[in-house]
């Protein structure tokens, strides 16, 4: 039977393993036991030494590298990381997990890209590890872990507040009744079987809840607990004087692994990877919601559409389209030192859209120019001036989720919208397609000239 800690390193079993290790001293040393487990893993590729982690420290980095490459590298070879799915590695894996949490907690905190990658990678590791188990073993393990994570059989949906807030779980994916989440089969049958007509209640339970939702809840809970643990480490480290240098070194290496993955493999699937450079705006690549605002809005949604939605979108799309992948806070002058792009390209576009509103936005609400300026980070003033920069924050573009809440009439999704969660990601994705298309068109024109 696979150890609970192999799936949930934060379990009591996992904590016991960490306690047994004691000090940090040995984490950099070569460990023969670890190397022999790795090399003896069934499908492990051992043709290159670099495929084999030699210490706890190496193993921690391999965990991150596995996820980064799996996500971004089209030529990803799972055989290089087969050891991660060998249950014999459990003890080493748990230590590596804790090292990662502590390094990231100490150096970057819970809201960092590094934290997000670790939390996501833990979720993916669990999914993959469960996938290698037999149905029965998987079921028993998941039930055991869930039982230890949930204090009672009757769970109020508000118990999952953190998971719902971080969107790891969506409320509508759960079956709720009288404020409780229904996971147990007997509970389900007792509550609903008399209402179900023409279908077998047992089969409906298996389809709607069954192992699928139980696993989902368990995985998301472990992910949330991982994030919470990183937060605790971060808070604790703020109170302590000197963090362990090994953790700081590991934290730096984690960043290097992520950066290397991005630089080598580019954009990937639109996760944290990839950097899109600032360049002249191409309205053809705007998402449907932006196109709609550019045409002008009727009174009612004008203010939010121009100030809250369009201003951040246009400014970031033009000046800092990689804001979400780079995850580094910037001011406009970092990318437009003389503010000439703001003055000559960005503001005219926004003012044009405001003018096309009915009635024109700044005609009856001239004070909104101050709000617009504030969203660009130049404080509550009429015009953007370097001396005022930083008085307010340069607002990042609204997510699709927020657009649906604040401006529901704008959201008319097309095919590309299905793949993104922010209009800026739409733009970054589409701009390549548009460029490709125009290259193809000019190639055809060249042919005709010839």
User: Which stretches of the chain bind other proteins, using CB under 8 A?
Assistant: 135, 156-158, 161, 164-167, 170-180, 182, 191-192, 195-199, 203-204, 206-208, 210, 212, 401, 404-406, 408-409, 411-412
By beta-carbon proximity to other proteins, the closer residue of 35 and 196 is 196
Q: How far is the CB of 385 from other proteins (least distance, A)?
A: 28
Q: How far is the CB of 426 from other proteins (least distance, A)?
A: 17
Q: How far is the CB of 269 from other proteins (least distance, A)?
A: 22
**417 labelled binding-site residue:** yes
By beta-carbon proximity to other proteins, the closer residue of 120 and 304 is 304
Nearest residue to 278 (alpha-carbon basis) of 323, 329, 331: 323
CB of 85 within 8 A of CB of 240? no
Rounded Cα distance between 189 and 221, Å, is 25
By beta-carbon proximity to other proteins, the closer residue of 245 and 408 is 408
Cα of first residue to Cα of last residue in the chain, in angstroms, is 71
Q: How far is the CB of 213 from other proteins (least distance, A)?
A: 10
By beta-carbon proximity to other proteins, the closer residue of 212 and 236 is 212
The set of long-range contacts for 260-264, using a CB threshold of 8 Å and a minimum separation of 24, is: 261/65, 261/68, 261/69, 261/72, 261/73, 262/72, 262/325, 264/73
Q: What angle do CA 249, 254, 255 make, to 5 degrees?
A: 100
Q: How far is the CB of 89 from other proteins (least distance, A)?
A: 29
Phi, psi values for residue 44, rounded to 5°: -65, 135
**411 labelled binding-site residue:** yes
Q: How far is the CB of 371 from other proteins (least distance, A)?
A: 15
3-state secondary structure the chain: CCCHHHHCCCCHHHHHHHHHHCCCHHHHCCCHHHHHHHHHCCCCCCCCHHHCCCCHHHHHHHHHHHHHHHHHCCCCCHHHHHHHHCHHHHHHHHHHHHHHHHHHHHHCCCCCHHHHHHHHHHHHHHHHHHHCCCHHHHHHHHHHHHHHHCCCCCEEHHHHHHHHHCCCCCHHHCCEECCEECCCHHHHHHHHCCCCCCCCHHHHHHHHCHHHHHHHHHHHHHHHHHHHHHHHHHHHHHHCCCCCHHHHHHHHHHHHHHHHHHHHHCCCCCCCCCCCCCCCCCHHHCCHHHHHHHCCCECCCHHHHHHHHHHHHHHHHHHCCCHHHHCCCCCHHHHCCCCHHHHHHHHHHHHHHHHCCECCHHHHCCCHHHHHHHHECCCCCCCCCHHHCCCCCECCCCCHHHHHHHCHHHCCCCCHHHHCCCHHHHHHHHHHHHHHHHHHHHHHHHHHHC
By beta-carbon proximity to other proteins, the closer residue of 208 and 322 is 208
Q: How far is the CB of 105 from other proteins (least distance, A)?
A: 22
By beta-carbon proximity to other proteins, the closer residue of 87 and 210 is 210
**357 labelled binding-site residue:** no
Q: How far is the CB of 301 from other proteins (least distance, A)?
A: 10
Q: How far is the CB of 155 from other proteins (least distance, A)?
A: 11
By beta-carbon proximity to other proteins, the closer residue of 21 and 189 is 189
By beta-carbon proximity to other proteins, the closer residue of 176 and 433 is 176
By beta-carbon proximity to other proteins, the closer residue of 26 and 421 is 421
Q: How far is the CB of 214 from other proteins (least distance, A)?
A: 14
**101 labelled binding-site residue:** no
Cite the annotated binding site for [4Fe-4S] cluster by residue number: 289, 400, 411, 417
Cite the annotated binding site by residue number: 289, 400, 411, 417
């Amino acid at each position: 039977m696979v150890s609970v800690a192999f799936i949930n390193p934060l379990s009591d079993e996992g904590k016991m393993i960490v306690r047994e290790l004691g000090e940090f001293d040995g984490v950099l040393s070569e460990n023969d036991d670890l190397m022999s487990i790795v090399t003896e893993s069934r499908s492990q590729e051992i043709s290159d030494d670099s495929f084999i982690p030699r210490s706890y420290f190496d193993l921690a980095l391999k965990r991150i590298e596995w996820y980064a490459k799996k996500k971004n590298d089209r030529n990803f070879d799972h055989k290089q990381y087969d050891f991660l799915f060998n249950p014999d590695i459990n003890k080493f894996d748990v230590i590596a997990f804790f090292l990662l949490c502590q390094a990231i907690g100490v150096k970057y905190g819970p809201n960092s890209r590094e934290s997000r990658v670790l939390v996501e990678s833990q979720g993916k590791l669990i999914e993959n590890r469960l996938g290698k188990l037999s149905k029965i073993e998987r079921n028993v393990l998941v039930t055991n872990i869930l039982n230890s994570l949930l204090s009672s059989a009757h769970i109020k949906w508000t118990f999952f507040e953190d998971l719902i807030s971080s969107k790891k779980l969506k409320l509508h994916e759960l079956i709720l009744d009288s404020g409780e989440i229904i996971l147990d089969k007997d509970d389900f049958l007792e509550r609903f079987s008399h209402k179900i007509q023409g279908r077998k209640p047992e089969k409906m339970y298996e389809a709607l809840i069954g192992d699928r939702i139980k696993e989902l809840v368990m995985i998301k809970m472990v992910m949330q607990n991982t994030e919470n643990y990183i937060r605790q480490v971060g808070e604790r480290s703020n109170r302590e004087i000197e963090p362990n240098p090994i953790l700081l070194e590991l934290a730096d290496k984690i960043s290097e692994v992520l950066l290397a993955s991005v630089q080598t493999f580019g954009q990937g699937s639109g996760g944290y990877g990839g950097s899109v450079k600032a360049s002249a705006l191409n309205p053809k690549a705007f998402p449907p919601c932006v196109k709609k605002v550019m045409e002008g809005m009727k009174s009612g949604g004008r203010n939010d559409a121009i100030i809250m939605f369009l201003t951040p979108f246009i400014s970031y799309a033009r000046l800092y389209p990689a804001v979400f992948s780079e995850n580094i806070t910037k001011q406009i002058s970092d990318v437009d030192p003389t503010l000439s792009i703001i003055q000559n390209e960005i503001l005219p576009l926004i003012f044009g859209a405001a003018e096309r509103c009915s009635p024109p936005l700044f005609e009856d609400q001239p004070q909104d120019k101050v709000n617009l300026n504030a969203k660009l980070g130049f404080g509550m003033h009429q015009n953007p001036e370097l001396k005022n920069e930083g008085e307010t924050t340069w607002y990042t573009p609204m997510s699709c989720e927020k657009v649906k809440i604040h401006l529901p009439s704008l959201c008319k999704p097309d095919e590309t919208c299905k793949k993104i969660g922010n209009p800026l990601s739409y733009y970054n994705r589409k701009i390549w397609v548009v460029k490709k298309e125009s290259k193809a068109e000019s190639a055809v024109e060249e042919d005709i000239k010839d």
